[in-house]
Amino acid sequence: MKAMIFAAGLGTRLRPLTDNMPKALVPVAGKPMLERVILRLKKAGFNDITVNIHHFGEQIIDFLRANNNFGVDIHISDERDMLLDTGGGIKKARPFLDGQEPFLVHNADILTDIDLAAFYHHHLESDAESTLLVSERKTSRYLLFDDNYQLHGWVNKSTGEVKPETFDYQEGKYRELAFGGIHVISPTLFRLMEDERWSGKFSIIPFYLSACTKTHIQGYPLKGFRWFDIGKPETLAEAESSFHP
């Protein structure tokens, strides 16, 4: 089973911790985030993992080598020349991810105890080309799903902006959910990335909002599990108190 870990981020909100190390190596309860994510993926049955790098990327290479890749096959997708964002990062890593089986994508700074194997198999048993972990949490920007958790659009409640541009947003008509930084993608979806607008640096969410008008993109609601976005010192502190060394 294949997976990709986003470990290329600059981690600006975690400064000064990230002034001298990549965000993915910031420890949570004594163990680097990247190590925690790799071990969770390994436990769930993922044995072929691609890690993208940019900020202090050589430290990640050295860390993985020092730990013998934690006993799994690891590929490095090197973005040290140019940080490509989430969509561009997936597209660059296509040589490692393409094939017959779906792959799971996991942000290095997302820590959760969700059953990753169950999440992956939910995607396998559906006709969706991508399955996004989503949750009911307070934010200004929401993905919009119908009662079957099929993605239809996006809204920024602060500005009133909607996507895709042709989407007719009606308050209360859709489930308003926030993306949880973990998703499963079927390689067939790469065909829609071949459009010239999806080249170089781009985010995966605008891509999904374009793709949902052409194919089935679904949500997978997070219920009954812990979930932390370790993007800020306060959420790092919360995760420290929740996870054991």
- Asked, for residue 107, whether it belongs to a domain, the answer is yes
99 within domain boundaries: yes
Residue 83 lies in a domain: yes
Instruction: Quote the DSSP letter at residue 8.
Output: -
CB contact at 8 A, 201 and 113? no
**What's the CATH number where 81 sits?**
3.90.550.10
Within 10 angstroms of residue 74's Cβ, the number of other Cβ atoms is 21
Q: How many folded domains does the chain comprise? A: 1
Average pLDDT over every residue of 42-62: 96
Tell me which of 1 and 236 has the higher pLDDT: 1
Per mean pLDDT, which of 86-95, 151-160, 168-177 is the most reliable? 86-95
- Choose the most confident range, by mean pLDDT, from 2-16, 146-160, 222-236: 146-160
Q: Which domain holds residue 21?
A: 2-240
Residue (of 56, 129, 54, 107) closest to 84 by Cα position = 54
Alpha helices in the chain (DSSP H): 33-43, 57-66, 85-92, 94-97, 116-124, 204-211, 233-242
Confidence at residue 244, expressed as pLDDT on a 0 to 100 scale: 65
15 within some domain: yes
pTM: 0.93
d(CA 32, CA 190): 31
Domain presence at residue 10: yes
* Cα angle: 243, vertex 183, 2; to 5 degrees: 90
Structure tokens at 93: 């890593």
Report yes or no on 77 lying in a domain.
Answer: yes
Decide if 245 is inside a domain. Answer: no
